[in-house]
Amino acid sequence: MKCQRCKKLACVALPSHHAGFCKDCYPLFFTRQVETAIRREKMFTHDDRILVALSGGKDSLALMLELKLQGYDVTGLHIDLGIPNSSEGARSKVEKFCDAHDLKLDVFEMEKWGLPIPDVKQYIDRPVCSICGKMKRHHFNRIAREGGYDAVATGHNLDDEVARLFANTLRWDTAYLSDQGPTLPAAEGFVRKVKPLFRLSEFETANYSFLKGIDIHSAPCPYSTGASFTNHKELWGELEFRSPGQKFQFYNGFMQRGKAAFANLEKETGATLHPCDTCGSPTSVGTCSVCRIKASVAVKKAEWLSESEYEAARARA
Amino acid sequence: MITVNLEPDGKVIELRRTRSVLGALNKLKLRSTMAIVVREDELLTADRKLYNGDTIMVRKVTSAG
Tell if the CB–CB gap between B31 and A241 is shorter than 8 Å.
yes
Tell if the CB–CB gap between B36 and A207 is shorter than 8 Å.
yes
Confidence of residue A230 (pLDDT cuts 50, 70, 90): confident
* Second-level CATH architecture of A23-270: 3-Layer(aba) Sandwich (3.40)
Confidence of residue B64 (pLDDT cuts 50, 70, 90): low
Rounded to a whole number of angstroms, the distance from the CA of A258 to the nearest CA of chain B is 27
Rounded to a whole number of angstroms, the distance from the CA of B17 to the nearest CA of chain A is 23
Q: What DSSP string describes chain A?
A: -B-TTT-SB-SEEEGGGTEEE-TTTHHHHHHHHHHHHHHHTT---TTSEEEEE--SSHHHHHHHHHHHHTT-EEEEEEEE---TTTHHHHHHHHHHHHHHTT-EEEEEEHHHHT--HHHHHHH--S-HHHHHHHHHHHHHHHHHHHHT-SEEE----HHHHHHHHHHHHHTT-HHHHHH-SSEE--BTTB-EEE-TTTTS-HHHHHHHHHHTT-----SPPTT-TT-HHHHHHHHHHHHHHHSTTHHHHHHHHIIIIIHHHHHHHHHHHPPPPEE-TTT--EESSSS-HHHHHHHHHHHHHHHHHHHHHHHHHHHH-
Cβ–Cβ contact B47 with A under 8 A = yes
Among A19-33, A166-180, A257-271, which is the least confidently predicted range? Answer: A257-271
Is B29 a member of any domain? yes
Is B65 a member of any domain? no
Q: How many domains does chain B fold into?
A: 1
- Residue A74 burial class via C-beta count within 10 angstroms: exposed 0-12, middle 13-18, buried 19 and up: buried
What's the pLDDT tens digit per position in B1-17? Answer: 999 999 988 999 999 99
User: Does ipTM surpass 0.90 in this model?
Assistant: yes
Q: Give residue B43's domain range.
A: 2-60
Cβ–Cβ contact B9 with A under 8 A = no
Confidence of residue B65 (pLDDT cuts 50, 70, 90): low
User: What is the model's pLDDT at position A307?
Assistant: 83
Query: Which of A12, A23, A202 lies at the smallest CB-CB distance from B62?
Result: A202
Peptide linkage before B8 cis (omega within 30 of 0): yes
CATH number of B25's domain: 3.10.20.30
